[in-house]
Amino acid sequence: MALDLTAALALIGIVIIVSSLLSGVIERTGVPQVAIFLLLGAVLGPAGLNLVNLTLQSPTLQWIATLGLVLVLFTDAIAMDLSQIRRRVLLLILVPSTLIPAILIGASAWLLLGLPPLHATILGAALASTDPVMQRNLIRRSTLPVPVREALRLEAGINDVVLLPIIVLSILAIGVDGRAGVVEFTRHAIGMFLLGPALGALTGFVAITLLERVRNRFTVRRDYESLYALGVAFTAYAAAESVGGSGFLAAFAAGIVIAKLDVELCDCFLDYGQATAEMFLLFTFVAFGAWLIWTGFTVADARTLLFSLIALIMRTAVLVPVLTREGFDPRTRNIVAWIGGPRGLSSLLLILLPVFAGVPGSDRLFAITCMVVLLSVAVHGTAIAVFLRKTEGSTGGAAQVAEAPLDPAPEPAAGVPERITIDEMKRLQASGEPVILADVRTDRSYQADDIKVKGAIRLPPDDAVRRARQLGLDHHGTVVLYCA
C-alpha cells in the first residue's frame, strides 16, 4: 500500500510539528527521540489511525529508503572534519569498531541462525552500522569530551560507506551463475568502487566551482547554500545511477569533496540543511514504526534473542580491550564502547537493499534486523539518556545557572548597528558601554583557522545559550559576534 497525497502531507506535517514541539524536552531530558517517533508511527499505523501502512513490497518504501540512505551517507560525509582525522583513530574505526564486529556478527548469524554464508555476511554488515540519528543528542552535548565527540562523529560518518560495498557485493555474489554472472559481478564492482565515487567527486567539484564563481560575483544567501548542498547530493546520486555506478557512494564522495574544499558550504549545510535532512530521517522512522519494525517480534525465539544480544554487545566486546591497550582513559573508553554504538536507521536502510534486489530470504534478514534495532533503541537509548542527565547534573552550579530564567532581552544600545566594524566596537568600549566579544564560528571553522580573536569568549553556535548561561554573561551588555 502506497501513501496517497493527503496521507503523505499529513504525515510530514505531524513529524515537523511533533519534532519541533518536543525538541526542547528531548534536548533537556535525553529521552530517545527515535523511540518517540517509532511510537508515533505505531499510532498512525494499522493498529491506530491507519494513515500509514507500508509493506516490504510498497513502492513508497523504496523511495523513502533510497532518499534516507542518500541523506545519511551525504550528511555523514559533509559533517566530517577531515583535518581532525588521525591515522590511529581512523584505523580503530575501520577495524575494531566496524569490520571485526561485522565479521563476528555474521559468523554468529551463520552458526546460531543457520543462515547461508552470504546472507549472514549481509546481516553482519548491516548490524555493524552505528546510527547517527540516535547519537545526535550525545554528540552535540558540549559536556562530552571533544575527542569522544570527534571519534563518534567520525565512526558514524565512515562505517556506512565501509559496510555498504560488503552488502552490495554479497547481493551480487548471491546472483552469480556461471561465466556471465561473473562478468556481471565484475561490471557492478567496477561501477561501485570506481565509477560511482568518481562521478560523485566530479559532481561535488563542479558544484563548488560554480558556487564559488556565483558567490564571488553576486553573493548567495546562506540558507540557499544549504539547499544547494542537498541538490548536489541528489545530483551525484542520479548521475552515478544513470551510468551503472553506485549512487550511494557517489553521494558520499560528493560530501567528502565539499567537506575538503568548501568549509563555508559545509557550515551552511550544518546550520540549515542538516535540520531538513534530519526531519526526513525522522519521517522515515515514523514510516518504519507504523508496522514494519514491529515485524521483529515475529521472529522472536530463543536463538534470535541470543543472536540479537550478541549483535548488540559485539562492538563493545571488541572495543573495550582495544581502547584499554591504546591508553584511552576509562571515561572515554566507556562512552565510546558502551554508549556510542546504537543500531537504528542505518541498519534498517542497509538491510533493505537485498529486499529491493529480490534476494531470497531477505524478509527474514529484515525482521531480525528490526528485532536488534528495537532492543538497541531500548538499551542504547536509555543509556544515552541516563548519561546525558548525569553529565547535566554533574556540572553543579553551571546546571543551576542554566535553569535560571533569563531577563527580558534589552533594547539595542543607541547607535549600535546590526553590523559593526572594529573601529566602531572600540569607540563603543571607550564610551564605557559593556561589550562582550564572542567567537561564534562553527567548530570546523574555528579549528581550521589559526587566527583567534583576542579577548573573545567561545560560544559554539549549536550550544550558545547554554554556554552563555554557564558563563553568567551580562544580560544588559552589548554582544559583538564574530562569525566570519
Across residues 456-468, what is the average pLDDT? 69
pLDDT of residue 353: 94
Which residue from 263, 315, 331, 279 is spatially nearest to 83, judged by alpha carbons? 263
What is the DSSP secondary structure assignment for residue 298, as one 8-state letter? G
Distance of alpha carbon 444 from alpha carbon 440, whole angstroms: 11
pLDDT of residue 325: 84
Over the stretch 78-132, which tens digit does the pLDDT of each residue have? 877 766 666 666 777 778 889 999 999 999 999 999 999 999 999 999 999 988 7
454: phi > 0 → left, psi -120 to 50 → alpha, else beta; which?
Answer: beta
Distance of alpha carbon 364 from alpha carbon 358, whole angstroms: 12
Q: Is the pLDDT of residue 219 over 60?
A: yes
Q: Which percentage of the chain shows pLDDT scores above 90?
A: 28
Name the amino acid, one letter, at 324: T
pLDDT of residue 397: 39
Distance of alpha carbon 353 from alpha carbon 350, whole angstroms: 6
Residue 410 — very low, low, confident or very high, per pLDDT cuts 50/70/90? very low
Name the amino acid, one letter, at 362: S
458 SS3 class: strand
pLDDT of residue 480: 81
Q: Is the pLDDT of residue 217 over 50?
A: yes
Q: Is the pLDDT of residue 159 over 70?
A: yes
Retrieve residue 235's grid coordinates: 545530483
Alpha helices in 262-405 (DSSP H): 263-268, 274-290, 302-325, 330-334, 345-356, 362-393, 397-403
Residue 30 — very low, low, confident or very high, per pLDDT cuts 50/70/90? low
Residue 406 — very low, low, confident or very high, per pLDDT cuts 50/70/90? very low
Retrieve residue 132's grid coordinates: 547517527
Over the stretch 315-327, which tens digit does the pLDDT of each residue have? 999 988 888 887 7
Across residues 444-455, what is the average pLDDT? 68
CATH topology of domain 5-394: Na+/H+ antiporter like fold (1.20.1530)
Over the stretch 299-312, which tens digit does the pLDDT of each residue have? 999 999 999 999 99
Average pLDDT score, the chain: 81
Across residues 47-57, what is the average pLDDT? 83
Over the stretch 338-384, which tens digit does the pLDDT of each residue have? 877 888 889 999 999 999 999 999 999 999 999 999 999 988 888 87
Of 157-166, 269-278, 294-303, which range is least confident? 269-278
Name the amino acid, one letter, at 54: L
- Name the residue ranges covered by the structural domains of the chain: 5-394, 404-482
**Answer CATH for 404-482 from 3.10.450, 3.40.720, 3.40.50, 3.40.250:** 3.40.250
Residue 407 — very low, low, confident or very high, per pLDDT cuts 50/70/90? very low
Across residues 375-397, what is the average pLDDT? 72
pLDDT of residue 113: 95
| Angle (deg, nearest 10), helices 247-261 and 146-174 | 150
Q: Is the pLDDT of residue 226 over 60?
A: yes
pLDDT of residue 399: 36
- What is the pTM (predicted TM-score) of this model? 0.79
Q: Is the pLDDT of residue 416 over 60?
A: no
